[in-house]
Structure 1
């Protein structure tokens, strides 16, 4: 799984994208509201781990997660 942090502009907030090995979009959620989306795709138990990585991830960088 890959994670990408996307910088928002003006009134558009920052977002996170989660993508699979084929780079298909699995989830797209606001940085400040990950709970419902991660629960919906079955990663609620990994939410703290994912958000700690996202917090330190620079905007626009792609990072491979081992989940």
Structure 2
């Protein structure tokens, strides 16, 4: 699974994309509101781990997550 952190501009907030190994979009959510999206794709139990990775990831970078 891949994690991408996208920088928002002006009124558009920062977002996170979660993609599978074929780079298909699994979830797209605001950095400050991950709960519903992660729950919807069955990763609510991994939310803390994912959000810690988001916090440390620079904008525009891609990180491969091992879940």
TM-score interval, normalised by the smaller of the two chains: over 0.9
Question: What does residue range 8-23 of structure 1 map to in structure 2 within 5 Å?
Answer: 8-23=8-23
Query: What is aligned with 1:40?
Result: 40
**How far apart, in 2, do the equivalents of 1:53 and 1:26 lie?**
17
For structure 1, which runs of at least 5 residues remain unmatched after alignment? none
**How far apart, in 1, do the equivalents of 2:16 and 2:46 lie?**
15
Q: Does 1:60 align with 2:60?
A: yes
**How far apart, in 2, do the equivalents of 1:56 and 1:21 lie?**
21
TM-score normalised by L of structure 1? 0.99
Shift of 1:10: 0.1
Alignment coverage as a number of residue pairs? 67
RMSD of Structure 2 on Structure 1 (CA) = 0.2
